Amino acid sequence: MNEQELINKHQEIFNFLLKYKKEHTTFVFLPRKKHNDIENNHLNCRLCKGYTFQGNENYIFVPLYKKVDTNNHTQTIGFVYTENKQYIEIVFNNIQGNEKTFYDEINEYLEKSDKVIVERIHQCKFQYTLNESLEKNLLYFISDVKVRIDSLIIKYGLEKEYFISEKEFQDLLNKIEMKPRIIKDKEENMKIELKTKNIMLYGAPGVGKTHNYKRLITMIENGSDEKTIFDTISKNENTDNFDSSVFKNIEKENRLEFVTFHQSYSYEDFIEGFRPQDNGNIKLEDGIFKILCDDAKINLFKSVDNKEILFNDALNLILKEKIENQENVKIDLKRNNSFYNIYDYNDKTIYFEKQNGDKSHTLSLKTLEKMYYEGTNNIINGGLAPYYNPLLEELLKLKNKSKVEKSELKNFYIVIDEINRGNISKIFGELITLIEEDKRDDYEVTLPYSKEKFKIPSNLYIIATMNSTDKSIATIDIALRRRFTFLKMEPNIDLVPDIAKELFSKLNEFITNNLGEDYQLGHSYFMQGLDLEFVKEYKIKPLLEEYFYGDDKKYKEALYILNIKE
């Protein structure tokens, strides 16, 4: 079980106990008591990481009473979760009198239960193993077992030593509530420290490359370190056990784009190019990568401490009232007695009319916004620059009018599926250099169509997938290899149902021996409502026919393993 999976279990247990408390208001429990690593801004704080209860990377300990010695475990009553086992732990060293009798009666009660398997570790330490689901095991512990222990605590007058008051419980919850504020700062630091911005998931068909990118992005967003991310993804385990709300929030905030490369995909699709319009004219339009880069750059500008009015507020001060009243906004040009009138605008475009009545040109709101946060026009020289510049000057006059808080720095992600199916040099063009981690925010190029100065921001991640059967990793574009960190994904037999495990192993052994490991079958062929005969006939057989095209002998040997007769 990796760290993220363990943290997810902490959260699952915590949520279950809180839900139980809503229905049983007097119920309380003992979460982790304090933050640590305060001197280092909580960067290694277990509570901030998500360790809501006591424990380490191997187990979770859930106590219901406050008398818990976490140093030498001389007195313990709690529920323990590990990857392979769940049990109630009772430890009672160095006690005597009523308290000794109290522990003896707890053990006597549990030993008679038909819900546990008793294991005596030594004279004063017992483990009572539970064999139901996590939810059922927890419910048994916090209801049946706790009721009995509570009655014994009262019987022997130990309330003061063991019971947790509602106030103590709420104080502990308040410390946990501090976590979002603390971890927000922590995540920003971690995101800056994560140097790998370009990650390639590669492997044979069906190994879960496209499926795993969601987990990868979620771990980056949660501030996991590089080693944890790469170790987790390379294990290629089932990816449904992570908090999907993080990924959904990224989608909701429009911080992610997904694109599939193919042989016809071009620079004009990805960066910028001229596109035909409904009226028969052509227009320069930004591609998906440039749009996302611009959004990320604007977020980067806004995240810096400043006392400046935001772009949208400044623009609305100049335009909104007059446009809503159907009045034009006159903008004077540098030339004597020259001007143009803005007659409408939306979230993408400013529409204006030249002095001669020409309405064929528009201004890009995104371009103007970049100029605004940079404080000057370093983007467009010539062309529409005479129309951008005077409006920009008016906006910059308002820039220091009011104080605003900085925006939160956020990550943006572009996912490129089947990246090796596209012509990389043709699609990325001059930007292939700028995607390198040490070139971000610094190096810039002039785009060939718009003549804009363009940089790639440091808060943009490029996640790509590559099918190794289409093109061996050794022969792909060397420029691409040098700029990406490659993460190999392999077939995982543990994700294959038992009914298909033997077939899966034999086929992959045959394919590896004859074609190489890049051509193995991925586990996804055998998942999701498996109809084995259907999969064999209509998914695997056509693939084998393609693999062994022109080699009838090998093809028939493969079909023999598949148990299909020609």
Alpha-carbon distance 546 to 533, whole Å? 19
428-460: pLDDT as tens digits: 998 998 999 888 988 889 999 988 888 999 999
Mean of the pLDDT values across residues 385-397?
91
Give the residue extent of every domain in the chain: 3-184, 194-270+408-488, 493-562
Give the pLDDT of residue 187: 45
Please work out, in degrees rounded to the nearest 5, the angle formed at the alpha carbon of residue 120 by the alpha carbons of 116 and 126.
Answer: 70
- pLDDT at position 401: 61
Q: What is the CA radius of gyration of the chain?
A: 31
Query: Could you give the count of Cα atoms lying within 13 Å of 508 in the half-sphere of its Cβ?
Result: 23
Q: Which two tokens stand for residue 170?
A: 């709420």
pLDDT at residue 309 greater than cutoff 70: yes
What are the pLDDT digits (tens) for 491-550? 888 888 888 889 989 998 999 899 888 888 888 888 766 788 888 888 889 989 988 888
Classify each residue of 71-89 as buried b or exposed e, where b means 16 or more C-beta atoms within 10 Å of its C-beta.
eeeebbbbbbbeeeebbbb
Distance CA 219, CA 201 (A): 15
- Three-state DSSP class for residue 282: strand
pLDDT value, residue 529 = 66
Count of alpha carbons within 13 Å of 158, Cβ hemisphere only?
A: 20
* pLDDT (average), residues 193-201: 82
Q: Are 409 and 191 in contact (CB under 8 A)?
A: yes
Neighbours of 149 (CB within 10 A): 22
User: How far apart, in whole angstroms, are the C-alpha atoms of residue 90 and residue 318?
Assistant: 71
**Measured between alpha carbons, how far is 501 from 490 in angstroms, rounded to an integer?**
15
Question: Please, which contacts does 240-248 make with residues 24 or more away whose CB atoms are closer than 8 Å?
Answer: 241/5, 241/8, 242/4, 242/8, 242/214, 242/215, 242/218, 243/8, 243/11, 243/218, 244/214, 244/218, 246/218, 246/221, 246/222, 247/214, 247/217, 247/218, 247/221
Q: Residue 44: which residues within 8 A CB-CB, separation 6 or more? A: 36, 37
Structure tokens at 183: 């971890």
Q: How far is CA 120 from CA 82, 110, 544, in A?
A: 18, 12, 56
How far is 314 from 396, CA to CA, in rounded Å?
8
% of the chain exceeding 90 in pLDDT = 31
Q: How many Å apart are CA 281 and CA 184, to the nearest integer?
A: 48
**CA-closest candidate to residue 362, choices 381, 384, 377:** 384
pTM assigned to the model? 0.57
Instruction: Assign domain 194-270+408-488 to its CATH architecture.
Output: 3-Layer(aba) Sandwich (3.40)
Structure confidence by residue, pLDDT tens digits, 249-275: 999 999 999 999 998 999 999 999 998
